[in-house]
Structure 1
Amino acid sequence: MSRAFFDQIDDELRGLLGPALRTYESARDSRLIKLWYGEPAIHFEVQLVARRWSPVERPVLEVGLHLEDPDPAVNERRLAGVHSARATWAGLLPDAGVGPALGPRGGAWRRVSEFMECTDPDDPDLASEAAERLALYVRRGLGGSLVALLVAAAALPGTVAQAAGGAAGGTGRVVRQVGTRDPGHVPRGYWLAAANGGVFSYGNAPFKGSVGALNKPIVGMATTPLGDGYWMAGSDGGIFAFNVPFLGSTGGLQLNQPVVSIIASPLGAGYWLVAADGGVFNFGVPLLGSTGNLKLNKPIVGAAATPTGQGYWLVASDGGIFAFGDAAFLGSTGSTPLNKPIVGMASTPTGQGYWLVASDGGIFSFGDAAFFGSVGGNPAVKPVVGMAATPSGQGYWLAGSDGGIFSFGDATFFGSAGNLRLRAPVVGIVGVPNTGPGKVGVFYYPWYGTPASTGTGWKHWDQGGHTPPDDIGSSYYPARGPYSSTDTAVVDSQMAELARAGVNQVIVSWWGQGSYEDQALPVIQNAAAAHGLGVAIHFEPYGSRHTTGPADIGYLVAKGIKVFYAYQATLENSSFWATIRGQNPNITMFANGSPSYTKAGQGGLINFALLGGFDGIYTYDPINFSGSDFAPLCALARANRLQCAPSVTPGFDGTRATTLTVTRPRLGGGTYDSTWAGAIAAAPEIITITSYNEWHEGTQIEPAKPFCIPNQGTCYADYTGDFGLADPQAQQGYLMRTAVWSAAYRSTRTPGLP
């Protein structure tokens, strides 16, 4: 095996990784390539394993993650963290083994890796496949969260020694960004799939591979919610997975009718195969119904999923529609004479409409699907074989069998194969989802005061009858001591901390004009601007909000505020907020309600937000939401053209400052990790953090230190041991972890085109 083999892996890997992950350091020779991000002891590797150490007694390639710290205990802790978060990556890396490294250092080093046959050590196709597998480990394999977590942690001062534990929430993702005012839908690209397994990529649709030898022709293609890989399906139900998990196929079954379509769950959980008789085969997703036991007038030719992943439609060649799960029947052409047969369909982002396309390019629109044009009746057009909707639902592409592309509405033309001599006809088109860059916001409380700053005494630090500076209204003690929220030096250092942690929006608690929090706002705005942070308002339920709220919003807009989070928005009726929206059409508003109302489905906070003219919803509550709650909530929000901003939290403990006795333990950082993992899995437009400095409720991520009240024997809780850190490094542990998770979150987002 030559060094050129590993040079090729390096070259191709940089093309496969996004910009944020291309800046790795690497080392290679004629036996291996390894790459890392700041800490060589945590690296990704492709190496030739000699027969002596091979698990199959012949030379193989090993691909994966290596943990090679000189201290075996560090490697073991890291591996334990990786293994505890297995749910976030095992489905994507079904062949990954976890355990001791191969070779003489196996007693000290650890690995998460897989093996590839190495029959020809200089085969360039083998190098390409190894690069693709290694990219999967770096980008998504050990988590759209966990790998990035390890990478980012290694680059931080004082490496976080234990990886994320207890990650929850699964891997489902919904990524249609459909805010009501400025959704930012950018049609980003598309793939064409040919019957021989060829793949043609346009725009920023990444090429992840194509099929070689086939038993049966390819009939369809589907992508992940992130658009970073795809499945291709053969007419026998064989599945070919590229940068996505293989979850099963019908390739080994005797089918009554051939497979004609594949559709993926918008939650990222799996896919369905649909046969010509309407038989449905589910892999990683629920079976919601089929027509396999019915006598159809015409064969099924296509299918589409609802945005919740809890329903789908099947369409027959005469335009007959069969709806299952939460998919609504919105009309069909089943009883209408057609010039040419229907060949495919696509659904709108809301799930309240769909288009049917005929082989002559004719378009039939139902529900909220708008007609943007067609090529019906144009004799120069080769038969149309499929269609794909843009992320906004305000346009679509049609694909011809010759690879020709026809764009309508906001669909951008990125290129076609119409001028190429194809070996096999194109059979389908798939659009790239749009996720946008992703924001991280944090709830910030500017209500703290000292005798020196207020001139009258302590503010908030004395909540619950405590006597600062040693005895304060919190179960934790701030590392910087009790401070004033109007101290410019303090606020500047806080904004600097948040910027380093990857936060880009500070959501400031605000309690009315002239309040102490209002007086602190200019200090926060100036410091935030100096560190590149945006400022939003947490519009609290202060006493006069129901009467002065509209005027107060106008007052804040005049101060440059454009984003508002309405806490307990349901205390006012929806028309109150609709009035504010009407007076301020250019602001962005998020609604919050009780946990039960938020989880109540369409009839709860979702409908309230729609009636009130809100752009999105957020959860805030640090007690009653787990990571697994976020994906279905965000799916429903986006199905209703609302943005989703789930709130992650480190825990809750208000026992020293409030009358609340319920607590949510931090679990050594596990609560923070699991809510972050669940939020990322929901693919929201924004992730919010509860909180930076709500010390009364113990939700803060601001640095805390070990401290005991003199002469009392009462000691505060602190962060020692969380994420495997010791004091004093542990004081910064939650900010360090925020940097890790925010980087992980952004690594899952799709960058915009230039």
Structure 2
Amino acid sequence: MNKTKIFLLAIIGTITTACSSDSGGGSTEPELEILAPVTIAKTNNTKIYAHYMAWFETNESSADSNWGYHWTMANRNPDIVDANGKRQIASHYYPMIGPYHSGDKDVIENHLLMMKYSGIDGILIDWYGTYDLYDYKIIKDNTEQIIALLDKVGLEYAIVYEDRVLTNIVNADKAPSVTAAAKTDMNWLQSHYFNDSNYIKIKDKPLLMDFGPITLTTPDQWATAFSNLNPKPTFLTLWNESGEAGNNASGEFAWVYQNNTHLSNFYMNRLPDLDVAMGGAYPGFHDYYQEGGAGGALGWAIDHNNGATLDATLSLAENSGVDYVQLITWNDFGEGTMIEPTKEFGYSYLQKIKAFAGITSADVFTNISKLYDLRKTHKGDAAIQKKLDQSFYYFVSMQADKAIALIDGIE
């Protein structure tokens, strides 16, 4: 066979292959258009971050097919479903999407899109380190799943370290000392997170927060933990605790306690002395520990007041002039501080944050919820999931009208 004939056959084969890929001779299915995230327009320059718990597990996600502790505490059973379709969980409040697995991509997508359209700039992930003990590794693994989607949505992140667990690590013979265990965790953060382009940087250094200190309570201990880090992080402790970290600390962050007076005192008395300060805003506090058999009553609560508490704490932050505000919290259902949409409060908290951020565009929260519902309804349908993937990219690129049109066409 001569070269000319071979060449002609190759052309015919190519044409035949292209035609056979058409459905019934029509046009091929459009390719997924992967779009870069676009920042939502807002008039408030204050950075808004949401404190995020990555510790939730369901009976489908856990290795032992049991619901995780943070949905059950000591005496709740989410397999019990009431007449309204609500599972029995360890909370006074119920997530709009139901109790979930923190590593579920559909859940993460829902949460991050809700945040983006309410003007939240990023998340502060409550993190228990790298060691495989209790549920610490589960939290780390879930965190990895969350981080994998953050840059696609266009949100930042930083770590809130729980140094309280270090004693447990040593007692389990997984590290020779609490400082050695902390150093291992810090080295891991530097290698895996701190250099990410969307890791939060303050004063050109990675932000690291600590919920305490609880275990490392001297400047020398923190100096040892940070000894391999370059640069050293912009390190914030819980309010009034920076002295325990000494010169290693750059400042403090506010939290929720008893009443708004503590927040006012932080802005008035601590803020002037801090190089870096992160304010706080919360919708209320109503823990479930006593009802859930997880401990005694704390003896205090902060009423949600139909949203007035969130309004008041956002106003305190704005009047203080802080550059950074932490929303306390996105999803701590056990303490009742969640701003995540719930059956009780709907999207009202997100709408308040949206107003604080200075966003004037129309709400799309119900449409984001519909995207989640369609993800679950059509879980095994690859063609529909591809359309939903496209709607996700329209959402992150601030083309909400296209995203809505696409999902509205799916039953």
**In the alignment, is residue 635 of structure 1 matched against residue 279 of structure 2?**
no
d(CA) in 1 for partners of 2:323 and 2:229? 22
Partner in structure 1 of residue 67 of structure 2: 458
Map Cα deviations across residues 508-564 of structure 1 (whole Å, 9 max, x no partner).
111121421101111110121111111111101213355411110111221123322
**Superposition pairs for residues 601-680 of structure 1, below 5 Å?**
605-609=241-245, 611-626=246-261, 627-638=263-274, 642-655=275-288, 656-657=291-292, 658=294, 659-660=296-297, 661-680=299-318
Q: Secondary structure at the match of 2:347?
A: helix
**Conserved? CA contact 1:565–1:591, under 8 Å:** yes
Q: CA deviation at 1:633?
A: 3.8
Which of structures 1 and 2 has the larger relative contact order (alpha carbons within 8 angstroms, sep 6+)? 2
**In the alignment, is residue 475 of structure 1 matched against residue 92 of structure 2?**
yes
d(CA) in 2 for partners of 1:584 and 1:673? 39
Partner in structure 2 of residue 584 of structure 1: 229
d(CA) in 1 for partners of 2:224 and 2:260? 30
Partner in structure 1 of residue 219 of structure 2: 574
Q: State the number of aligned residues.
A: 275
**Conserved? CA contact 1:443–1:691, under 8 Å:** yes
Give the direction of change, closer, same or farther, for the CA distance of 1:503–1:681 in structure 2 (3 Å limit): same
Partner in structure 1 of residue 394 of structure 2: none
Map Cα deviations across residues 323-371 of structure 1 (whole Å, 9 max, x no partner).
xxxxxxxxxxxxxxxxxxxxxxxxxxxxxxxxxxxxxxxxxxxxxxxxx
User: 2:341 is aligned with what amino acid?
Assistant: P
Partner in structure 2 of residue 444 of structure 1: 52
Map Cα deviations across residues 132-187 of structure 1 (whole Å, 9 max, x no partner).
xxxxxxxxxxxxxxxx8xxxxxxxxxxxxxxxxxxxxxxxxxxxxxxxxxxxxxxx
d(CA) in 1 for partners of 2:279 and 2:58? 33
Q: CA deviation at 1:643?
A: 0.4
**Superposition pairs for residues 371-386 of structure 1, below 5 Å?**
none
Q: Secondary structure at the match of 1:670?
A: helix
d(CA) in 1 for partners of 2:349 and 2:280? 15
User: 1:549 is aligned with what amino acid?
Assistant: A
Q: Secondary structure at the match of 2:277?
A: strand
**Conserved? CA contact 1:451–1:458, under 8 Å:** yes
Structure 2: where are the runs of 5+ without partners?
1-40, 80-86, 170-177, 195-205, 360-411
Q: What TM-score results when the alignment is normalised by the length of structure 2?
A: 0.62
**Which range moved further: 474-483 or 533-542?**
533-542
Q: CA deviation at 1:634?
A: 4.9
User: 1:635 is aligned with what amino acid?
Assistant: L
Percent identity between matched residues is 21
Q: Select 2:331's aligned residue among 681, 693, 697.
A: 693
Map Cα deviations across residues 174-206 of structure 1 (whole Å, 9 max, x no partner).
xxxxxxxxxxxxxxxxxxxxxxxxxxxxxxxxx
Q: Select 2:115's aligned residue among 471, 475, 498.
A: 498
d(CA) in 2 for partners of 1:491 and 1:635? 34
**Conserved? CA contact 1:654–1:697, under 8 Å:** yes
Map Cα deviations across residues 59-116 of structure 1 (whole Å, 9 max, x no partner).
xxxxxxxxxxxxxxxxxxxxxxxxxxxxxxxxxxxxxxxxxxxxxxxxxxxxxxxxxx
**Conserved? CA contact 1:617–1:637, under 8 Å:** no
Q: CA deviation at 1:20?
A: 5.7
d(CA) in 2 for partners of 1:633 and 1:742? 26
Give the direction of change, closer, same or farther, for the CA distance of 1:643–1:525 in structure 2 (3 Å limit): same
**Superposition pairs for residues 425-444 of structure 1, below 5 Å?**
437-444=45-52
Partner in structure 1 of residue 391 of structure 2: none
**Superposition pairs for residues 111-260 of structure 1, below 5 Å?**
none
**Conserved? CA contact 1:623–1:664, under 8 Å:** yes
Partner in structure 2 of residue 549 of structure 1: 182
d(CA) in 2 for partners of 1:454 and 1:689? 28
Q: Secondary structure at the match of 1:549?
A: helix
Partner in structure 2 of residue 528 of structure 1: 150
Partner in structure 2 of residue 681 of structure 1: 319
Map Cα deviations across residues 218-251 of structure 1 (whole Å, 9 max, x no partner).
xxxxxxxxxxxxxxxxxxxxxxxxxxxxxxxxxx
Partner in structure 1 of residue 353 of structure 2: 738
**Conserved? CA contact 1:442–1:692, under 8 Å:** yes
CA RMSD of aligned residues (A): 2.2
**Superposition pairs for residues 262-277 of structure 1, below 5 Å?**
none
Give the structure with the higher percent strand: 1
**Conserved? CA contact 1:618–1:647, under 8 Å:** yes
Q: CA deviation at 1:628?
A: 2.2
Give the direction of change, closer, same or farther, for the CA distance of 1:677–1:519 in structure 2 (3 Å limit): same
Give the direction of change, closer, same or farther, for the CA distance of 1:621–1:577 in structure 2 (3 Å limit): farther
d(CA) in 1 for partners of 2:139 and 2:52? 10
Q: What TM-score results when the alignment is normalised by the length of structure 1?
A: 0.35
Give the direction of change, closer, same or farther, for the CA distance of 1:467–1:624 in structure 2 (3 Å limit): same
Could you list the structure 1 runs, at least 4 aligned residues long, displaced by more than 4 angstroms after superposition: none
Give the direction of change, closer, same or farther, for the CA distance of 1:578–1:624 in structure 2 (3 Å limit): farther
d(CA) in 1 for partners of 2:221 and 2:269? 24
d(CA) in 1 for partners of 2:329 and 2:270? 20
**Conserved? CA contact 1:622–1:699, under 8 Å:** no
d(CA) in 2 for partners of 1:574 and 1:620? 22
d(CA) in 1 for partners of 2:258 and 2:50? 17
**Conserved? CA contact 2:186–2:226, under 8 Å:** no
d(CA) in 1 for partners of 2:258 and 2:100? 27
User: 1:620 is aligned with what amino acid?
Assistant: W
d(CA) in 2 for partners of 1:644 and 1:633? 12
Map Cα deviations across residues 402-451 of structure 1 (whole Å, 9 max, x no partner).
xxxxxxxxxxxxxxxxxxxxxxxxxxxxxxxxxxx431111101111111
Structure 1: where are the runs of 5+ without partners?
1-18, 22-147, 149-436, 599-604, 706-717, 720-730, 745-754
d(CA) in 2 for partners of 1:503 and 1:557? 25
Give the direction of change, closer, same or farther, for the CA distance of 1:526–1:623 in structure 2 (3 Å limit): farther
User: 2:215 is aligned with what amino acid?
Assistant: L
User: 1:566 is aligned with what amino acid?
Assistant: D
